[in-house]
Amino acid sequence: MAIYQKTNTKIWTGRKSGSQLYLHEKVACIGLDAVKKDNFEKGYAILGYACDEGVKRNQGRVGAKEGPKVIREQLAKLPNHLDKDSKFLDVGTIICTDGAMEDAQNMLSETIYHLLAHDMVPLVFGGGHDMAYGHYNGIKKYVSTKKTIGIVNFDAHFDLRSNANGNNSGTPFYQIAQDCRADTIPFRYLCLGIRKDANDQNLFKTAEQLNVQYLERHHFNLYNLEHVRLRVMQFIEDVDCIYTTIDMDGFSSAYAPGVSAASPMGFSPDIVLECLRLIIDSKKMIGLDIAELNPKYDIDNRTAKLAASLVHYIIHNELH
């Protein structure tokens, strides 16, 4: 089963200023039932997805369920540059128990819908990348068929494995594609940072069959910035809203050693920040998540600090 748990405020600690100079002084930890449109203007809502059942099913290194906690801990220490009236909430964590990943995904979907319906931008901390299926479905329920949803995935992997033998952290975008086909709506998916040493031939064939747009890692860098910018901008123009998902295993292990599938051949944070800027400036981002952070294998919280810094960058630019 899946359970919901309100965040322990003790996670949010750091240097004290008495005047909200740090995010742990700015954040409001509340229960989901307290998220009401009459109470809040548009803002950010952090939600944890403590589940690595999908990683386990995909034969990966488990431990990502601890990701939401360590990202919060590192984000708490960072400076607060948000406007005084900006809302910055922590609305708790969805916890997968007894291997019930699908229950956790369903609860995530309903929670994403609830947050969007109350003018909150969801920031989901995982957890395995299986959360993408729940996150997307929450967005789809909110926008209905009125808007075209584009998915931008910063990742080494397509995560387009068939779910014929069950769902896991490698199947979410294949599942989304199949649902789109059944609903006769476009499947718009851009994957940035794909590596041939992380995807077999069948996955590339599946990507071609599903008309997936992607840039391989050797093209996804600052040396090819203009080309990258053009591809991202073209994708943005063709959709109404953007679900952004960042798989931490897409980064080089020099930056992100604490992931489920580490590799030194990944991309750098700089090119990701350049693309995030384009997404932010488009005003189309409807939700974001951070996937596959595995604290068990992290070094000096390097990966958690990177994840926190990415979130810090987004929240200080997206609503401005």
Q: Would strands 43-50 and 120-126 be described as parallel, antiparallel, or unpaired?
A: parallel
pLDDT value at position 39?
56
Q: According to the annotation, is 312 in a ligand binding site? A: no
When pLDDT is averaged across residues 224-232 and rounded to a whole number, the result is 98
Going from N- to C-terminal start, the domains of the chain cover 2-315
Per-residue pLDDT band for 318 (boundaries 50, 70, 90) equals low
CA 76, chain centre distance (Å): 18
CB 280 within 8 A of CB 230: no
**Given CA atoms 312, 318, 319, 320 in this order, what sign does their dihedral have?**
positive
For residue range 62-118, what is the model confidence (pLDDT) as tens digits? 999 999 999 999 999 999 999 988 899 999 999 999 999 999 999 999 999 999 999
For residue range 10-24, what is the model confidence (pLDDT) as tens digits? 999 999 998 999 999
Q: According to the annotation, is 159 in a ligand binding site? A: yes
CA-to-CA dists, residue 32 to 46, 106, 287, angstroms? 11, 16, 17
Q: Which amino acid is at 259?
A: V
pLDDT value at position 24?
98
Distance between CA atoms of 262 and 254, rounded to whole angstroms?
A: 9
Secondary structure (DSSP) of 271-297:
HHHHHHHHHHHHT-EEEEEEE-B-GGG
Q: Would strands 241-247 and 149-154 be described as parallel, antiparallel, or unpaired?
A: parallel
CATH number listed for the domain at residues 2-315: 3.40.800.10
Distance between CA atoms of 205 and 120, rounded to whole angstroms?
A: 37
Q: According to the annotation, is 129 in a ligand binding site? A: yes
Token code pair at residue 315: 């929240």
Distance between CA atoms of 48 and 288, rounded to whole angstroms?
A: 12
Q: According to the annotation, is 83 in a ligand binding site? A: no
Q: According to the annotation, is 247 in a ligand binding site? A: yes
Q: According to the annotation, is 155 in a ligand binding site? A: yes
- Taking the whole predicted model, whether its pTM rises above 0.75 is answered as yes
For residue range 21-53, what is the model confidence (pLDDT) as tens digits? 999 999 999 999 988 766 556 799 999 999 999
